[in-house]
């Protein structure tokens, strides 16, 4: 499976509750696309949210995010880590 | 300690070796500013690198990155996770 970091740039003021609900919405349907969201980090001040996931493709990640109501603004395939 | 996600946008073609060396350069001096870099994820195709860290301030993180030769292009304070 490939690894991805996707970025949402339009969630200013996102609360712990809102992020939890958004993440749960992804987890509830992620198996439909063999995607696994592992972590989400949010900066409510700038509205940026970074989501780390594994899955078959960028498109599969986006389909889950779209169905859950929060498409990403940007996605990067992570092929090198440290 | 606060948590940060900083983003470098100008490392196209970054290799595993290059990222490892950059990360080690940070680790070697991070104690000077009480910063702790915990993980780095890179997309060599777009040149984006995402660095997760903990530390006293955004400025402290940037000072370490600058001294190590790779200032960030963007930084976000992470106050909500899931």
- Closest residue on chain A to B47 (Cα): A76
The CATH number given to whatever domain includes residue B10 is 3.30.70.3090
CA distance A30 to A21: 14
**Which residues in chain B have Cβ-Cβ distances shorter than 8 Å to A22?**
82
Tell me whether residues B40 and A16 touch, CB distance under 8 A: no
Closest in B22, B77, B81 to A40, CB measured: B81
Q: Count how many pairs of residues, chain A against chain B, have C-beta atoms within 8 Å.
A: 83
Q: Number of structural domains, chain B?
A: 1
Torsion of Cα atoms, B39 then B43 then B46 then B47, to 10°: 50
For B21-78, what is each residue's pLDDT tens digit? 999 999 999 999 999 999 999 999 999 999 999 999 999 999 999 999 999 999 999 9
A47 and A10 in contact (C-beta within 8 Å)? yes
pLDDT in tens, chain A (82 residues): 999 999 999 999 999 999 999 999 999 999 999 999 999 999 999 999 999 999 999 999 999 999 999 999 999 999 999 9
**Which residues in chain A have Cβ-Cβ distances shorter than 8 Å to B40?**
81-82
Domain carrying residue A29: 2-78
Q: How many residues does chain B have?
A: 82
Query: B33: buried, middle or exposed (CB in 10 Å: 19+, 13-18, 0-12)?
Result: middle
**CA of B57 vs chain A CAs: smallest distance (Å):** 14
- For B40, the enclosing helix (H) or strand (E) is strand B36-43
Structure tokens at A66: 């779209």
CA distance B11 to B26: 16
**Which residues in chain B have Cβ-Cβ distances shorter than 8 Å to A47?**
none
């Amino acid at each position: 499976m490939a690894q991805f970091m996707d970025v949402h740039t339009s969630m200013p003021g996102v609360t712990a509750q809102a992020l939890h609900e958004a993440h749960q919405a992804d987890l509830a349907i992620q198996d439909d696309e063999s995607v696994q969201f592992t972590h989400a980090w949010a900066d409510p001040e700038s509205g940026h949210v970074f989501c780390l996931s594994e899955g078959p493709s960028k498109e599969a990640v986006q389909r889950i995010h779209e169905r859950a109501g929060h498409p990403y603004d940007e996605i990067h395939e992570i092929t090198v880590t440290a």
